[in-house]
Structures are given as structure tokens and as C-alpha cells.
A and B are shown apart, each in its own frame.
Chain A
Amino acid sequence: MNRIRTYLNQNKKQKLLIPFITAGYPDRSTTLNLIKAAIDSGCNMIEIGFPFSDPLADGAEVQFSSYQALKNGMTLARTLRIAEQVRKTSDVPLILMGYYNPILCYGENRFMKDAKAAGVDGLIIPDLPVVEASDYKRYAAIHDISTVFLAAPTTNKTRLKQIEKSCSDFVYAVTVTGVTGGGKVFGRDTDNYLKGLGKTLSKKFVAGFGVSSPETARRFCKYSDGIVIGSKLISLMRSAKSKSQGVKDAARFLSSVRKAI
């Protein structure tokens, strides 16, 4: 059984709060602490990023955390060990996010199998659009991994349909044209775009990229079924005096978002 599906089928009214946490940043044990703190702060699912040397859909923060994680020796296989560790104490749905080449290199089929065994429920690959994903989807289906594809403001109706069909349980809506990271200004067009998605899609969808305050989270949750927060957590970790303080700051921030949505 897939924990994402089980969770969504319970049909809770609560909006989904999903943090993105880079495996191995600032180090392995802090990653585990941060995941635990995120669960305790009311996050409904956890996205764990496995690092890639060339994250071309990411802004400065995720580039930084990925670089640090790689320097710390994080790999795709070790990211699975982190998922296993989380699984020992929690049933929270776990989604891995990262780029295609490490997965190709691991072997798609073998990866899906190992990921499932490690307790992973879903996968997001930002440089794998639906048109290139037929093998990937087949292996994911065999091993009951929920595939999450991205929709963008530039996605037309035809492709949005294909994307929705290719998402096992929910769609990930990129809020603006751009890479991940803070400093984004969201205009009316973002509201209109998200509102439009809500009308078009029959599956649930979450909004992500650049969500960095409780206010923005609440604004997007008017239309979406939830939000993803990544870069903001990295910058909180980065500016904290110590790693443990970073975890506390991130947890406090996530709690404030939880209250807001």
C-alpha cells in the first residue's frame, strides 16, 4: 500500500504542508533531526532531496545545500538509508526529489525497488518531463511508487491533461516560470493560474517554488491542496548560529505556516 494514497484517501480537510529537505545538508544526523522536527510541526508529507552536481531547476539555496551535501558524501544510495531511518519511527509519506542522471545511473528498475523497500512512497524528477518518462512510469507502477510530475504556468491544456494522467496521486504546480528559491514576487497571474488549475484538475495539487512566508502559503492554499517549502528552510538553517538552532528555527517557521493554512 502506498502511504501517499492512503493519506489522501482519508480525505482530511487539512491542507498539505510539505517541506523539502536536502539529504546530507548540513549533515546526515541534522537531516534526520530536521525531518523529525518537521513531522512534529505538523507537516503531512516529507520531500527528501537527493543531491545532484548540476541542479538546473534550482536557485541559489538548493544549489548550495546540494553542493554541501555532495561534499559530505551524500549519494542516492545513502539517501535511501535516510528514508529507512525515518521509516523506523514514522509512517509519514516520503517523497524523494532530485535529478534524473543519478537514477539512470543507479538503474531505474533497481532504484524503484530499493526505494520502495526503504519506505519511499513517491518521486519527483524536475528534469524528466512526461514525454520522456514512459520507462520510468512503468517501473514506478511495478513497485508502487507514486509519480509526481510538475505543471508550470506555461503548460498548455493538452499537456496538463497528460501530466495529470501521469501523476499517480497528485500534481505539483510550479508557481511561476523560474527556478526554486526565495525573492519571488507573486502577481495576480499566479493567483489566476492556481485558481485555473483548481478548476481544471480533478486530482489534488500542491503549489511550490518560492513559498517563503505563512502569508504566501495561505494565499496559495486558497486554490491548492497544499504547498511545498524548500529554499526558505535552507536559508533558515544557513543563517542559524548552530545546526540545532537551525532545526529549531525551521520547526518554528513550519509551525507558523501550519497555523496559517
Chain B
Amino acid sequence: MAQRVIRGPNSKGRFGPYGGQYVPETVMQALSELEMSYRKLKKDKSFLSELRGYLSDFVGRPSPLYFAERFTAYLKGPKVYFKREDLNHTGAHKINNTVGQILLAKHMGKKRIIAETGAGQHGLATATVCARFGMECIIYMGAVDMKRQAPNVEKMKLLGAKVVTVESGSKTLKDATSQAMRDWVTNIRSTFYIIGSVVGPHPYPMLVRDFQSIIGKETKRQCKEKFRKLPDAIIACVGGGSNAIGIFDSFINEKSVKLIGVEAAGHGLNSGQHAATLSKGKPGVLHGSYSYLVYDNDGQIILPHSISAGLDYPGVGPEHSALSDSGRVKYFSATDKQALAAFELVSKLEGIIPALETAHALAYLIAHKKEFKARQNVVVCLSGRGDKDMPIFFEKEKA
């Protein structure tokens, strides 16, 4: 039997050399309280059954594994299945994590919730659970993203969240995250910070992964039901990396399953305008952890670019950095153009409008279909729906 990959994090919150807690001293105590509460609750039967209840009746899990028949016929390649995270309440995988974290917050007695958001999907998923649990909700969102993901901003407001416009730096996810962290440092005693991806200081990359791992658990079972074996490959887009790690998690030790992460290449890997952290970055420290990062010769973060707000981030979760170094997961990228084409194609072929983030994973498969055989089964994590992306799509159409 193949050797098992040792799963992190270790006692220092590291996946190999990556991860850690690079944060101001003010929040160190809160991080250790969070870790203690989480380690206790994840073994607590009533907490787990409460979580399961919300995942099934509020989120609508399990999400289906759907055979994309016409897309498969179009590719003339492998059989393609979509793991339908777009069918979750609020339209993306993000809610798997926010339901978990809001229950943690409740158990820890916190009443004020903050979050950062790029595409608005995490902000929306956070605003939704805050409404459900009657908690105060503040969402930090870059000015650029508020414009390009306007439908989600309206929804968050309707749900009672306060959406704070971030005007600093890139005015996108990076600066929204910095601003959320500043709020957290300031209001540390009252506030629970619901981080939206497998990024940030330990224990966040671990707990977000654990909450998202439901995607992979279901997928494994559903593959056995649908085609009686493991899939040959799994493809997911990678921003911070939460939908990817969520679906990969159950398969990391299944060596026959190829795991593929797709980052945003923006205008192209060599254009200087991309968000392809693992392809083009080097290890560094931002937003609380040591991980691959895109920065210049002086250590200054380079503004990323992607048409997809959810992938427009200069960093990536530390576990992905470790999985990339070890070669267990292979990381590729897709450009803005390829993603837009995939967005339109899959809409027309399957009657499913994917999020622009997800479209990067689909674009990879379109570009690399020749590398798969017809008898192979490939699962794409359909991380979210694309309604939020209609304004961008029509703008690009006109241009």
C-alpha cells in the first residue's frame, strides 16, 4: 500500500514549513481560545449533530454529483461529473464553512461577526448565518469588488449586514482581508472573525478545511454509487483554496486519484497581471501565515489580477503550499479569457451558469482534455453559481 501522506497541521500550526501565526500579539490569546474551543467541540456529539442538522436542512446537503452529459460529449474526452456546490443555499461552497464557524462563535459566546469577501459569496454566506443566528454582521469588501459583484452586495444588505467599503491598496480581497484583521485586532474581545478560506493564522486553515471536507466525503460516496470506483481525477479552482481542499481532503491518501488545482492566470502567467500564487510566487508572510505569495524584490506584495473576484488574491492557503511542494496536488492556471469562454460554454451546454471562479477549473479541463482517456471519470468541483457574474460577463461581451 502506498505511504499515507501525513496530514497537518502539526502542534505548531504548520503544514511542513507553511502556516504558523504571524499576527499581532493582541490576537494571540484569541487564536489559542479558538483552537481550544474547536478541538473540544469537534469531538462533541451534540455540536456535531447540530452542525449536521444545519448542513442538511438549512444548506441543503448533500449536494448532488451530476453527470455533465453534453459537456462530456463536447469534450470527447473523459466522463465529467460536477459536484454541485452551486446548489447549496446562497449558491456556493462558502456556506459549509460559515455554518461551522457561526456555531463555534455561538458556543464561544461571541455576538459580533466580521468577515472579508471578494466575490461576495463568503460575505453573503456569512450575512446569511448571522441573520439566522441573530448576530451583528460586518463585511469588509473592496470598492472594486463591490462594483463587479454588485448583486451580492444588495443581498448582504437585505440580510442585515453592514458592508464596509475598503478603499485602500488594490481595493479587492487582499485589502478587505487587511481591514477585517484591523477590525479584529481592535474588537478582539467581542468579535469572532469568520475567515472565508483556508488562509490566515492557525487554526483557521485547519478548521476551514475541516468544515469544507464534507464536499470530498460526499463525493467519495457518490462516486462509488455512480460508477462504483474512485474518480481518476478531481479538478477545483484555487483562490485561497477552500473548495479545493474541501473536495481533495478525502482523496489525499488515494494515490490513484489525480488532484488538480487551478489558479487564476489573469492576463497570462507572464503578463505580471495574474493571481497564480503557486505557479509564480515564493514563500512569504501575509495575513497571518507563511505560504506561497506574490511579492517583489523588496518583499512588497504585488497587486494580483483576475477577472474573478474570488481568485483575485496574492496568497494561498498554507496546506496547498505543502501539497504543491510534495507534488501530491498539481497546480495549473487558466486566464481571464479562458474562464469567460468556459463560463459561456458550460452555461449553454448544461443549463448551469457557473461562477467565474469555478469557470477556471472548467477552462483547465477544456484546455487539457486530450490528457484524459474516454473511460476515465473526472469530477469538477462546481464551487458556485454565476448569477453574481452576469454584470461582468455582459460588460465583456460588449467590449
Residues in A with CB closer than 8 Å to B186 are 177-179
Bound CA span A159–B28, Å: 9
Bound CA span A154–B28, Å: 8
User: Can you list 13 contacts pairing A with B, beta carbon distance less than 8 Å?
Assistant: A53-B301, A56-B24, A56-B185, A59-B182, A99-B285, A101-B285, A102-B299, A105-B284, A153-B26, A155-B29, A177-B187, A179-B182, A179-B185
**What are the interface flags for A125-162 relative to B under an 8 Å C-beta threshold, 1 for contact and 0 otherwise?**
01111111000000000000000011111111001000
Q: List residues of A (14-70) whose CB comes within 8 Å of B's CBs.
A: 52-59, 63, 67, 70
Residues in B with CB closer than 8 Å to A57 are 24, 182, 185
Spell out B's residues near A (CB within 8 Å): 12, 20-30, 168-169, 174-175, 178, 181-182, 185-189, 284-288, 293, 295, 297-301
Bound CA span A193–B298, Å: 37
User: In the complex the two chains form, is B299's CB within 8 Å of A52's CB?
Assistant: yes
Contact of A186 with B by CB under 8 A: no
Bound CA span A149–B22, Å: 13
Task: Given A56-B182, A177-B186, check contact A101 B25 (CB 8 Å).
Answer: no
User: In the complex the two chains form, is A126's CB within 8 Å of B24's CB?
Assistant: yes
User: In the complex the two chains form, is A178's CB within 8 Å of B299's CB?
Assistant: no
Which residue on A lies nearest to B14, using beta carbons? A132
Contact of A82 with B by CB under 8 A: no
User: In the complex the two chains form, is A105's CB within 8 Å of B24's CB?
Assistant: no
Which residue on B lies nearest to A66, using beta carbons? B300
Task: Given A59-B182, A76-B298, A102-B298, check contact A152 B22 (CB 8 Å).
Answer: no
Which residue on B lies nearest to A76, using beta carbons? B298
Chain A residues with a Cβ closer than 8 Å to the other chain, count: 43
Residues in A with CB closer than 8 Å to B26 are 152-154, 174, 177-178
User: In the complex the two chains form, is A177's CB within 8 Å of B300's CB?
Assistant: no
Bound CA span A101–B298, Å: 9
User: In the complex the two chains form, is A129's CB within 8 Å of B25's CB?
Assistant: yes
- The smallest beta-carbon distance between A212 and chain B, in angstroms, is 17
Contact of A106 with B by CB under 8 A: yes
- The smallest beta-carbon distance between A7 and chain B, in angstroms, is 25
User: In the complex the two chains form, is A177's CB within 8 Å of B188's CB?
Assistant: yes
Q: In the complex, which of the residues A54, A75, A76 has the most CB atoms of chain B within 10 Å of its own CB atom?
A: A54
User: In the complex the two chains form, is A154's CB within 8 Å of B168's CB?
Assistant: no
**What are the interface flags for A95-122 relative to B under an 8 Å C-beta threshold, 1 for contact and 0 otherwise?**
0000111111110000000000000000
User: In the complex the two chains form, is B299's CB within 8 Å of A127's CB?
Assistant: no
Residues in A with CB closer than 8 Å to B298 are 75-77, 102, 105
The 3 A-B residue pairs with the shortest CB-CB distance in the complex, in nearest-first order: A105-B299, A102-B299, A152-B26
User: In the complex the two chains form, is A149's CB within 8 Å of B29's CB?
Assistant: no
User: In the complex the two chains form, is A127's CB within 8 Å of B285's CB?
Assistant: yes
